[in-house]
Chain A
């Protein structure tokens, strides 16, 4: 009986994770769409050249600047903000797993999910890549 309860909860976590992913992806797609409309409207006659790698300007790399620009309804920043939400969706999924395993009183896997979450946050915020 105890085993049965545990299995149902595992499935429950999975189901909610799926719903979370779908909401995150839809939200991201929606923001990217709005950003694209603004961006295309502002850059009607500009053809971009991606042949040579230049790298993006600082304002499109830094989370704070992206959010600031997104609220000013700038096209490029809005798209970038949508992409940040897309990247954050799997991170939210791991956070969700931490909570789920904790509620199941599964200490081992609460710890495992926390480790994964830490690695992700380290790469996203600590600027490990710089």
Chain B
């Protein structure tokens, strides 16, 4: 019952801040309930798929995500996810916990940063043009055209994002947005929605492996799924109406603290 309530909150917060539910679910289960991190990671992957697919409800109609870029980069993220799920079976609980803590702090930093729009209309990149990735979206009846840069660089970071997702059971949205914003120079409206599009597919690649390995428990996933689904749906609806600046800052602080907690517990071997 407590897990159900907290999962609802996690889904709500995850959708509102664009960080996904995973970053909250794992500390909640491990630090809060003393559940083994392997079960927590398996459960969290399920939560990530639920949030990503559930949140789609709010942005499908806008049509600003770039499905070509998403699909192309998914080659990197899915292969990464499979590698990550394999690494998870080889390394110790402590390593997973500490890595998770570092990624958590990093995600907090990324989500807390000021979002700025990159100048559009930069010269088109050869690879990107060949792959027909350049696109446009409509913003208040104005068409904004954008071009894509450094495709191989983005592809490489996406592999890392996928591996982290498979190892830690998170959506690693922060890394995906970095790959698209900073390296490929996409406008953030496009990168955030495209990232959400990719998270579900990436998590599905590793969730299949976790299921076969026996890391996904029905008794544990049940309250999480039932809590996070309505949370994500309501969260993505609210997102359109409210300003989330303060919420993001508070949330970033909370996950930084959780990150430090995960690292210290990982080092002292309490998990």
Task: Report A's interface with B, CB cutoff 8 A.
Answer: 10-11, 13-15, 17-19, 21-22, 24-25, 28-29, 32-33, 35-36, 39, 43, 48, 50-53, 55-57, 60-62, 75-77, 79-80, 82-84, 86-91, 93-94, 97, 106, 108-109, 112-113, 115-116, 119-120, 122-125, 127-130
Contacts and interface: CB of A to CB of B under 8 A. Distances in A.
Interface in B191-208: 200-201, 203-208
A24 B201 CA distance: 13
A43 to B, nearest CB: 8
Nearest to A32: B225
Contact of A129 (B33, B34, B59, B85): B85
B218 interface: yes
Contacts of B221: 32, 79, 83
Interface of B: 33-36, 38-39, 46, 49-50, 52-54, 56-57, 59-61, 63, 65, 67-68, 71-72, 74-75, 78-79, 81-82, 85-86, 89, 131-132, 200-201, 203-223, 225-226, 229
Contacts of A130: 212-213
Given A90-B201, A123-B81, A129-B209, 6 more contacts: A17-B56, A21-B200, A76-B219, A82-B225, A90-B203, A106-B132
Contacts, number: 190
A35 B200 contact: no
